[in-house]
Amino acid sequence: MVIVGAGFAGLRAVKRLSDADAEVLLIDRYNYHTFIPMLYQVATGFIEPELIAYPIRKALRNIFNADFLMAEVEQINPDNKTITADGRTMTYDYLVLSSGSQANFLGVSGAPQFTFPLRTLDNAIVLRNHILSCFEQAVKNLENSSLQEQLLTFVIVGGGPTGVEMAGALQELIYDCLVKDYPQLDLERAKVILLQSGSDLLASYPKHLQKYTVRTLRDRGVKVHFNNRVKETSSTEVVLEDETRITTATIIWTAGVEASLPKPQAEVSTASKNKVEVQDTLQLPKYPHVYAVGDVAYVEQDGKPLVGIAPEALQQGGMVAENLQRQLKGKSPKAFNYFNKGRAAIIARNAGVILLLGKIPLGGFLGWLMWLGIHLYYLPGLSNRFKVLGAWLKDYLRRDRSVRQVYTMISADSRTQLK
């Protein structure tokens, strides 16, 4: 069996196959699992990057039928049951596609070149370095008011959970922490702007939680704008469809994602966001030996597509492992049925929203506290949990972030992005 991608679904599948009578090969371009929901906390200096990066080989240490290969899967051929990774072709009996998602720039001119996506750990590190560098550059240009305005204006495109969490965390970073580090700057001039093309933030949440989110962000100083799409971006500005121009040095892109899928050498049906259409068993319709899960798979339940959050991926990974075991025993796979435990988003300190069990709305301090508890529980590694908890307590009690250094030692991919 080959599993492509060590995200939530892929890693859960490998663990659940630990007692299977089969060899399992997990392939990923990185040798660590990234806890995606907390990328924004790396980008805004809450925590060190390594606290949300768990070594894959450590995770597989006691799974004796599993091995790991650090490689980029370039092609899949379900007809011949082969995959190509880093130029090397391998055969498989069963294949699980769980390669996650990537930023979708929605055809906006300049967005791939001039915006900062937030989908990988490299993205988060690059963004954090850039944000802090903007303040350092502002100190060097105290007499240049127009350049200072550009450097201290931060635009976030997209009003989903990532955009909301990034906006609140960035506003707090500036006004709770950096204001003490840069006394020579007038940080009353700093602006965090959240752009949403539609009429609501957190569109999948109940209306009163959406309104609470907008009110909370605005009360904290975030400037929220609706019903205006981004038309064009450059290194110095954002241009909206109504020709409004916002001068900025930082455009953070959270507006869209699409499946990150290796090139198939066969006809594979896809749906919205380039997701693979699957049967209710999570198998590809024409290929019963191939499964797709997580952000790669288009899955409907009760007539609506699943939204693509970590709990869905975890449950799909477990279901795929069960179905693979059934196939090995000559049994038919079972249909996947998602149990909606809920979803949550942080807005700012003491403010969060949660839709418990998919139908019980909670907001405010309780929503914030439950978000912290849920994510601390699912974060891999006991040591990581204690360190993250310590960073949270430091921020809460002292209003001080743990990571405010500009690190120059970054990966080759990150250097490419910076250019």
DSSP, residue by residue, 185-211: S-GGG-EEEEE-SSS-SSTTS-HHHHH
Report, as ranges of residue numbers, the positions in the chain whose pLDDT lies below 50.
Answer: 410-419
Cβ atoms within 10 Å of 145's Cβ, excluding its own: 11
pTM of the model: 0.93
Catalytic residue at 48?
no
Strand pairing report for 2-4 and 24-28: parallel
Of 171, 235, 201, 211, nearest to 40 (Cα)? 171
Instruction: Annotate 90-107 with b (16+ C-beta within 10 A) or e (fewer).
Output: eebebbbbbbbbbbbbee
Nearest Cα residue to 100 out of 148, 154, 17, 37: 37
* Phi, psi for residue 23 in degrees, rounded to 5: -90, 135
Query: Closest by alpha carbon to 154, among 199, 187, 203?
Result: 187
Torsions phi, psi of 37, nearest 5?
A: -60, -15
Q: Which residues pair with 284 in a beta bridge?
A: 287
pLDDT at residue number 403: 82
CB of 410 closer than 8 Å to CB of 129: yes
**Whole-number pLDDT of residue 408:** 66
Give dist(CA 27, CA 3) in Å, integer: 6
197: nearest Cα among 270, 255, 152, 126: 255
Give the closest residue to 65 by CA, choosing from 31, 14, 4: 14
Spatial distance between the Cα atoms of 250 and 252, rounded to a whole number of angstroms: 6
Locate 127 and state its tokens: 């963004």
Out of 50, 143, 165, 172, the active site residue is 165
- Name, in order, each residue with C-beta under 8 angstroms of 230's C-beta and a sequence gap of 6 or more: 108, 111, 157, 195, 197, 238, 239, 240, 241, 255
Give the H or E element holding residue 351: strand 351-356
The interaxial angle of helices 365-378 and 382-398, nearest 10 deg, is 150
Domains and CATH numbers, the chain: 2-29+71-103+257-328 (3.50.50.60), 111-255+342-418 (3.50.50.100)
Main-chain dihedrals φ then ψ at residue 148, nearest 5 degrees: -60, -40
- Among the residues of 1-120, which ranges form H helices? 8-16, 39-43, 56-59, 111-114
